[in-house]
Each structure stands twice: as structure tokens, then as C-alpha cells.
């Protein structure tokens, strides 16, 4: 085992050389994306299930004050976006955070990030695809069209529903009583019925989520046939998406009852924080456009702009939508799967045509998230394969369509197959933790670059100049000052939080303890090394959000990374080009 190879960073010059070798062998990706295409792709990736669906639950718990969560999360993502922008400008390579980590931390962490990004793109697409399917089924049901339940739900949900309802029936409950009971029990009956009604093959019921299969196949086909086709589809759908959201805002504004904003934070700070995962999920995606770096006309200039423009536009839209929704109906009514359509429905302001229109546009435009993430995932695999960490076929470019064809098809299968048979919506929290982890690593990478702890290995080596740099603000006194102000604010407004924390009541406090230790260390480093403030704030805010996702998600995430490490040592380590080159130079 050559431990050195695990932590050996790849200089930007080396990365560019490797990409050139790959291009000469397999062909280049076409450079067709301009700044507005990138902005559109960013909006396409950001606005999706988060705002069309999960915002309802966040508003239910947090009340109107959920807008503070949108502001805080938007700022946290803004710091990270600036760090991504600096890297994207310095290393305009498709691997995104994976490649940035390779250049700053070495191969092992790069692999971990590459594996982690699978969570952000492919796994979150499973969540979006399932949410999309629910939205579609609700929509067509309004027009009296129904799909047999056994082709509109996953196998495992139907199986569990059948088991549970059978148990309740054995206990003497009647089916009609279970069906009319509240919440999840009525869904159980649908699952039970689906199990009974499903056609059988060799005695096994055929139950799967066909809408998910349909949308994933369509998106995979678009991303397979070319980046131009993907770009055109995204541009058209983004215009529709923004039009729908603006309609909700402008029409909804007439129905705002300021009384609905009182109390503004009915469940306090804790209630607002319950929405962290949903709100952060709504922001995920701006970084996906950095995976198209090799398809941009002027990546060094346009990628930073595209990321920042899309983030700013989406933040403004999110905050306004949250204000309008919570102003139109009481927050307690918002725990529904399609809140934007709901507020215009019979339970809201009763404008059925408008409600239907928003639902139609919601269905059409949520598909754009799937589109961009299915562009992103194959390009990360392509970059990993070029470095030898995945088999060569992952970086094969289609001779006609000029897309990483194998990785594109595999991504489609990766999303479609699990969603056919399992309801994986609970992995949304894991998606958020995985993405925050990648953001935190990118912010730390920028700190290392700026601090000169690692060499940028000739960032400007092949005649390219760095186009974007985060403005340097010295954190020496500012960061410790912000921490002191934060502590004082917690002491004034919620002193119990500090006393409970110091009393260490249970293991759920471990994430917060780790966060506090990190902040103390950062204060020391800021003071000692005059670190750049923006990446420090990016790292701190992402770490805080990770803390709020809870220890159970930390453990699940740890297990996920451990599985990734096993795969790395079974394949990636053995085939790593960097390790082979290091060993070659060592023996010669």
C-alpha cells in the first residue's frame, strides 16, 4: 500500500494534460453553452420538488418565519457558490467538486467526494422522480384520469401496506374503518388494494411505479442525444417554470391576508429549523452546472456568473413564494405534497383553473431537475474514469452525439430501477447531508489554495488565466467577532439552549459538539493565519446546516462513505493513473 498516493494532489497542469490525452483518444465534448444557458441550467436544477412540494412541510413546521431559513440557506449557498466559482474558473473540468478535491486534498478525498456526489445527483433524482410521479398522479386525478394503483406505486410500499392492513384486519378492524381513518392509514389501504389487484407473474404481483420509468427514460434519451438538445429543453422549460412561479406570486399577492402572518414564528426557532433539510434540498443544484465546464464556450468567465445568477434569482423567488404562500392560507394547512397548486384550490382561494395550470406547469418543470442532474452525474463519472478510478467505458464519448453515453444510460438505470420498486423519499435528508459535505470540502479547498498550504501546481499553467477570485477579506478579527456575537445572541434569546448543551443530555448533541469544536479551531486559524473570510463563512454555515440534520443521518452517511471506500480499495486504488505514475517514477 502506497499511502502517499492516497494524499498526493494532482496539479491543475496535470489535470489539464490528462484531459487533453482523453480528448485526443475519445473526442471532445462540444462547446455550446453560454452564460444564459448556464443560468438557465442552474435554475432548471435548483427549482423543483423543493418548492413545488417539500416547502409545504417546512412552512407547516416553521410558519411564516420559514422565510428566515430560506434567507440563511441562501446565504450559506452563496458563500459556497463563490468558492465553487473560484474553482470552476481555475479548473474548468467536468468533474466539479471531485476534480477540485483531487487538486487540493489528493485522490482519497477526491474519491470520497465523487462517491458522495452520487448522493447529490443520482440519489436525489430518485427523490425528485418519485415526487414528480405523485404530482402527476394528483394532477391527472383532478381530470378524472386514474392509473391503476399497482402501476403507480413501488413494490415495497404495496408489500408493507398489505402486511400492515392484513394485521389490522386480523385484529378485527374493518377495511372501511381503516380507509376512512386519518393520514397514512388511508394510504395503507391503497397499497393493500394495489397488492390484491395487481396482475401476477408466477404468483408474484407485478407492482411498479410506471410514471417514474417513463420520465426517466425520456430524460435519459434527451441527455443521451446531445448537450444541445438538453440545453434547448432546459431553456424552454425554465421560461415556463419562472412564468408559473411569477403567476403564483402576482396572483397570490391579491389574496394575502396579513393575519396569516401572525404569529410569525408559531413554533419558535426549533420549528423553523425542522425545515432545514427541505429548504436546503430546494437549493441543491446550482453547483451541477460546473459539471458542464467542458461544454462551455467560456467556462472561466461564464461558469461563476451562471452559478451566482441562478442562485440569486432562485433565492429571491423562494423567499417571495414562501411569503405569499404563508400569507394566502394559514401555515397549518400547508402540509400537503403540492402546496403551490393547493393554495389556489378549493381549500385555498378556490381558483380551480389556476390551480390546475400551476399543477401542470409544476409537473412539466420539475422534470428539469432530473434533466440537469442526469447531465451532471455522467460527467463526474467521466472525470473519475479518466483518472482510472472507474473503468474506461465510463468516459467513452458517443461518436455521433458527443455525450458520455455509457455513463448517461447507467445514470438513467440508477435512478429508474430503485424508484420502480422502493419508496426512497426518506433519502432526501441524506442527499442534503451529502451535498453539504461536498460544499464544505470545496470551501476548505479554497482556503488551502488561498493560504498556499497546497500548491496550485500551475493554475495558470497552460496559458489560461484565473478569471474569478473571491475578494479577500481578512477574517482575523471578523470571524471571532461574528462567533462572539452569535453566542451572545443565543444567550439573550435562548439561554436554555446553552445550558442544555452544557448538560449533555443525549447523543443527539454530538453533531453540535463537533460543530463547536470546529468553530473554535477556525477562530484560532483565522486569528493565526489571516484566513479569507468568505470560504470560512461558507464552511461554517454548511457545517451548521449539517449539524441540524441529526446524528441518525450522520451515521447513515458514514455507512454510505464506508461502502464507497471499500469500492475504492477494490478497484480505484489499483487502477489509479496517479498512483501508477508515482510508482513508475519511483522505480525508474
Contact by Cβ (8 Å): 411, 377:
yes
Q: Which of 65/428 has CB closer to ligand ALA?
A: 428
Q: From the CB of 434, what's the least distance to ligand ALA, in Å?
A: 12
Q: How many residues bind ligand ALA (CB under 6 A)?
A: 11
Q: Which of 194/369 has CB closer to ligand ALA?
A: 369
96 φ/ψ angles, rounded to the nearest 5 degrees: 50, -135
Instruction: Choose the stretch contacting ligand ALA; rule: CB under 6 A; options: 190-198, 276-284, 318-326, 378-386.
Output: 276-284
Q: Which of 376/378 has CB closer to ligand ALA?
A: 376
The kind and range of the H/E element at 391 are none
Q: Out of 100, 105, 192, 281, point to the residue binding ligand ALA (CB under 6 A).
A: 281
Q: From the CB of 553, what's the least distance to ligand ALA, in Å?
A: 17
Please tell me what DSSP assigns to residue 532: B
Q: Which of 87/373 has CB closer to ligand ALA?
A: 373
CA 498 to chain centre: 31
Q: Which of 285/388 has CB closer to ligand ALA?
A: 285
C-alpha cell at 288: 451541477
Verify binding: residue 284, ligand ALA, rule CB under 6 A: yes
Verify binding: residue 327, ligand ALA, rule CB under 6 A: no
Q: From the CB of 584, what's the least distance to ligand ALA, in Å?
A: 42
Map residues 105-124 to x or -, x wherever contact with ligand ALA holds by CB under 6 A.
-------------------x
Contact by Cβ (8 Å): 432, 165:
no
Q: From the CB of 341, what's the least distance to ligand ALA, in Å?
A: 16
C-alpha cell at 219: 430524460
Q: From the CB of 62, what's the least distance to ligand ALA, in Å?
A: 17
Closest by Cα among 579, 517, 570 to 547: 517
Q: Which of 205/285 has CB closer to ligand ALA?
A: 285
Q: From the CB of 314, what's the least distance to ligand ALA, in Å?
A: 8
Residues 41-70 that bind ligand ALA (CB under 6 A): 46, 48-50
Closest by Cα among 367, 322, 353 to 340: 322
Contact by Cβ (8 Å): 405, 398:
yes
Residues 169-188 that bind ligand ALA (CB under 6 A): none
CA dist 134 and 294 (Å) reads: 35
Q: Which of 128/360 has CB closer to ligand ALA?
A: 128
**209 strand-pairing partners:** 152
CA dist 285 and 96 (Å) reads: 12
Residues in the chain: 588
Please tell me whether the peptide bond between 263 and the residue prior to it is cis, using omega within 30 degrees of 0: yes
Map residues 8-47 to x or -, x wherever contact with ligand ALA holds by CB under 6 A.
--------------------------------------x-
Verify binding: residue 534, ligand ALA, rule CB under 6 A: no
Q: Which of 124/290 has CB closer to ligand ALA?
A: 124
60 φ/ψ angles, rounded to the nearest 5 degrees: -60, -45
C-alpha cell at 285: 443544484
Q: From the CB of 498, what's the least distance to ligand ALA, in Å?
A: 34
Q: From the CB of 427, what's the least distance to ligand ALA, in Å?
A: 12
Q: From the CB of 97, what's the least distance to ligand ALA, in Å?
A: 16
Q: Which of 218/551 has CB closer to ligand ALA?
A: 218
CA dist 26 and 404 (Å) reads: 10
Where helices occur in 263-342 by DSSP H, the ranges are: 268-273, 276-283, 299-328, 339-342
The kind and range of the H/E element at 448 are helix 428-451
Q: Which of 85/366 has CB closer to ligand ALA?
A: 366
CA dist 219 and 235 (Å) reads: 15
Using DSSP's 3-state secondary structure scheme, residue 213 falls into helix
Q: Out of 189, 282, 361, 546, point to the residue binding ligand ALA (CB under 6 A).
A: 282
Residues 191-220 that bind ligand ALA (CB under 6 A): none
Where helices occur in 495-548 by DSSP H, the ranges are: 495-503, 510-529, 533-548
Closest by Cα among 128, 217, 207, 214 to 411: 217
Q: Out of 74, 114, 205, 285, point to the residue binding ligand ALA (CB under 6 A).
A: 285
Q: From the CB of 217, what's the least distance to ligand ALA, in Å?
A: 19
Q: Which of 130/526 has CB closer to ligand ALA?
A: 130
Please tell me what DSSP assigns to residue 200: E
Instruction: Choose the stretch contacting ligand ALA; rule: CB under 6 A; options: 77-85, 282-290, 329-337, 477-485.
Output: 282-290
Q: From the CB of 48, what's the least distance to ligand ALA, in Å?
A: 3
CA dist 303 and 13 (Å) reads: 20
| 96 contact partners, CB below 8 Å, separation of at least 6 | 84, 88, 117, 287, 288, 290, 291, 293, 376, 379, 380, 383
Residues 127-156 that bind ligand ALA (CB under 6 A): 128
Q: Out of 369, 382, 436, 531, point to the residue binding ligand ALA (CB under 6 A).
A: 369
Residues engaged in binding ligand ALA (CB under 6 A):
46, 48-50, 124, 128, 281-282, 284-285, 369
Amino acid at each position: 500500500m502506497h499511502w502517499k498516493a492516497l494524499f498526493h494532489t494532482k496539479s491543475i497542469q496535470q489535470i489539464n494534460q490528462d484531459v487533453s490525452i482523453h480528448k485526443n483518444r475519445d473526442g471532445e465534448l462540444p462547446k455550446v453553452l453560454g452564460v444564459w444557458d448556464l443560468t438557465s441550467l442552474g435554475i432548471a436544477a435548483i427549482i423543483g420538488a423543493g418548492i413545488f412540494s417539500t416547502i409545504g412541510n417546512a412552512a407547516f413546521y416553521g410558519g411564516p418565519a420559514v422565510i428566515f431559513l430560506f434567507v440563511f440557506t441562501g446565504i450559506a449557498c452563496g458563500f459556497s457558490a463563490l468558492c465553487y466559482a473560484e474553482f470552476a474558473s481555475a479548473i474548468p473540468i467536468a468533474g466539479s467538486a471531485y476534480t477540485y478535491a483531487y487538486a487540493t486534498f489528493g485522490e482519497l478525498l477526491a474519491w470520497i467526494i465523487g462517491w458522495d456526489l452520487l448522493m447529490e445527483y443520482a440519489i436525489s433524482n430518485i427523490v425528485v422522480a418519485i415526487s414528480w410521479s405523485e404530482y402527476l398522479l394528483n394532477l391527472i386525478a383532478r381530470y378524472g384520469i386514474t392509473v391503476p394503483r399497482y402501476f403507480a406505486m413501488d413494490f415495497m410500499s404495496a408489500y408493507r401496506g398489505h402486511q400492515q392492513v392484513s394485521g389490522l384486519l386480523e385484529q378485527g378492524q374493518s377495511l372501511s374503518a381503516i380507509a376512512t381513518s386519518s393520514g397514512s392509514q388511508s394510504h395503507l389501504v391503497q397499497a393493500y388494494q394495489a397488492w390484491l389487484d395487481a396482475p401476477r407473474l408466477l404468483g408474484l404481483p407485478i407492482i411498479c411505479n410506471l410514471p417514474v420509468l417513463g420520465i426517466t427514460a425520456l430524460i435519459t434519451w434527451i441527455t443521451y442525444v446531445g448537450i444541445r438538445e438538453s440545453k434547448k429543453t432546459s431553456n424552454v422549460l425554465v421560461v415556463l417554470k419562472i412564468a408559473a412561479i411569477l403567476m403564483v406570486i402576482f396572483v397570490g399577492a391579491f389574496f394575502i391576508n396579513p393575519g396569516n402572518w401572525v404569529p410569525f414564528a408559531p413554533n419558535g426557532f426549533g420549528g423553523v429549523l425542522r425545515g432545514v433539510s427541505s429548504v436546503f434540498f430546494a437549493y441543491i443544484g446550482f453547483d451541477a452546472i460546473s459539471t458542464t465546464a467542458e461544454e462551455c464556450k467560456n467556462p472561466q468567465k461564464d461558469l461563476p456568473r451562471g452559478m451566482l445568477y441562478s442562485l440569486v434569482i432562485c433565492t429571491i423567488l423562494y423567499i417571495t413564494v414562501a411569503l405569499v404562500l404563508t400569507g394566502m392560507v394559514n401555515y397549518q394547512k400547508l402540509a400537503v405534497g403540492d402546496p403551490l397548486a393547493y393554495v389556489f384550490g378549493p381549500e385555498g382561494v378556490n381558483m380551480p383553473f389556476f390551480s390546475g395550470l400551476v399543477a401542470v406547469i409544476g409537473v412539466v418543470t420539475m422534470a428539469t431537475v432530473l434533466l440537469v442532474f442526469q447531465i451532471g452525474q455522467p460527467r463526474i463519472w467521466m472525470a473519475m474514469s479518466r483518472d482510472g478510478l472507474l473503468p474506461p467505458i465510463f468516459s467513452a464519448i458517443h461518436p455521433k452525439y458527443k455525450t458520455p453515453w455509457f455513463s448517461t444510460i447507467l445514470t438513467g438505470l440508477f435512478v429508474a430501477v430503485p424508484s420502480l420498486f422502493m419508496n426512497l423519499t426518506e433519502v432526501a435528508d441524506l442527499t442534503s447531508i451529502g451535498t453539504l459535505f461536498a460544499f464544505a470540502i470545496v470551501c476548505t479547498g479554497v482556503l488551502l489554495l488561498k493560504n498556499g498550504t497546497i500548491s496550485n501546481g500551475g493554475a495558470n499553467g497552460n496559458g489560461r488565466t484565473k478569471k474569478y477570485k473571491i475578494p479577500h477579506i481578512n477574517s482575523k478579527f471578523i470571524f471571532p467577532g461574528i462567533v462572539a456575537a452569535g453566542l451572545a445572541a443565543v444567550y439573550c434569546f435562548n439561554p436554555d439552549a446553552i445550558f442544555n448543551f452544557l448538560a449533555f443530555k443525549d447523543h443527539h448533541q454530538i453533531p453540535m459538539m463537533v460543530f463547536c469544536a470546529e468553530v473554535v479551531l477556525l477562530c484560532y486559524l483565522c486569528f493565526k493565519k489571516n484566513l479569507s473570510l468568505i470560504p470560512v463563512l461558507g464552511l461554517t454555515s454548511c457545517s451548521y446546516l449539517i449539524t441540524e440534520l441529526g446524528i441518525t443521518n450522520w451515521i447513515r452517511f458514514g455507512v454510505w462513505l464506508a461502502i464507497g471506500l471499500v469500492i475504492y480499495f477494490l478497484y480505484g486504488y489499483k487502477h489509479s493513473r496517479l498512483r501508477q505514475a508515482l510508482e513508475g517514477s519511483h522505480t525508474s
